[in-house]
Structure 1
């Protein structure tokens, strides 16, 4: 049985795993319907503006608040999203131009401690707007065969299809928006 650690947040106790995965863990499927991929595309297209709305009016104190003990601050989460989705864009391009490329992993925790994570968050949000415009341009109108092209992740040896990448990053955005809302005291 999983040990459940309690953490006091906004004057109530919360289970630690609920803070780490407030919308649940990502679960990849072997295949996705056309309706699901259409929804993923809509979610990816809308994400930068959704993030912008969530951070509008965020205070310096909220930006400096971690979403869980030993977790990243809201500021680190926002910069991480930009870095992660930048990697998604590169991985998509490799997958569309190479046969089952083996991608490069990166140390997210180390990146979160680099100097650029102290820059204003708007830089990363603006970067996300450009990244997502390019991602949508690449993914729009792909047929099922192309959406089943894949890359191999070196840490898990798992082969991610473009459909599963769409699902993953649609989840990833929502996952981190929940973290930011936790830092703002808006998550219940």
Structure 2
């Protein structure tokens, strides 16, 4: 079973995500997240999906799109590092990505479908990793990070945003 990464494997910024991931099998956790998140999102109306809880904040649709986009980026980083690529990987500005997307013109079911496809892709990627690749490290956003940390960041990032959805959008 894959253990949580040590704090030397990721930045302090990412610690808020890694810390949210419960103990246990990471693949099982990611599968449970997929099920729970799609169930939660399926209960939300199109009107609720366009809700923004404060000026300058994202709509719920934008949050869902952001979750999928961030998982894509983290999975790409994970793939490159797991395969032994030593090329430093660029950072990304999440606000620019949301601005550059057209999440508002998508239906919520379309965004759920996209999130589901991304998660399934992440799961197949993780299943194919060799034992030694989990501890490989690379550089992303000018910081050293491990493959294992990236996998945990993916899980924790979603948990972070699902909590925000429940507290700020559906409360």
Normalization by structure 1: what TM-score?
Answer: 0.70
Matched residues in 2 for 1:117 and 1:95: separation?
Answer: 29
More helix by percentage:
2
Runs of 5+ in structure 2 lacking a partner? 1-14
Deviation at 1:69, TM superposition (A): 5.1
- Larger relative contact order, structure 1 or 2 (CA cutoff 8 Å, min sep 6): 2
Normalization by structure 2: what TM-score?
Answer: 0.76
1:105-144 equivalences in 2 (<5 Å): 105-118=91-104, 119-140=106-127, 142-144=129-131
Runs of 5+ in structure 1 lacking a partner? 1-23, 29-34
Alignment of 1:26 onto 2:11: no
1:47-87 per-position Cα deviation (integer Å, ceiling 9, x unaligned) = 22221111122123422223555321211100111111111
Relative to structure 1, is the Cα distance of residues 150 and 125 closer, same or farther in structure 2, using a 3 angstrom cutoff? Answer: farther
**Aligned with 1:82 (options 68, 71, 81):** 68
Aligned residues: 153
Alignment of 1:178 onto 2:163: yes
Deviation at 1:141, TM superposition (A): 6.2
Matched residues in 2 for 1:81 and 1:75: separation?
Answer: 10
CA RMSD after TM alignment: 2.5
Alignment of 1:50 onto 2:36: yes
Deviation at 1:168, TM superposition (A): 1.0
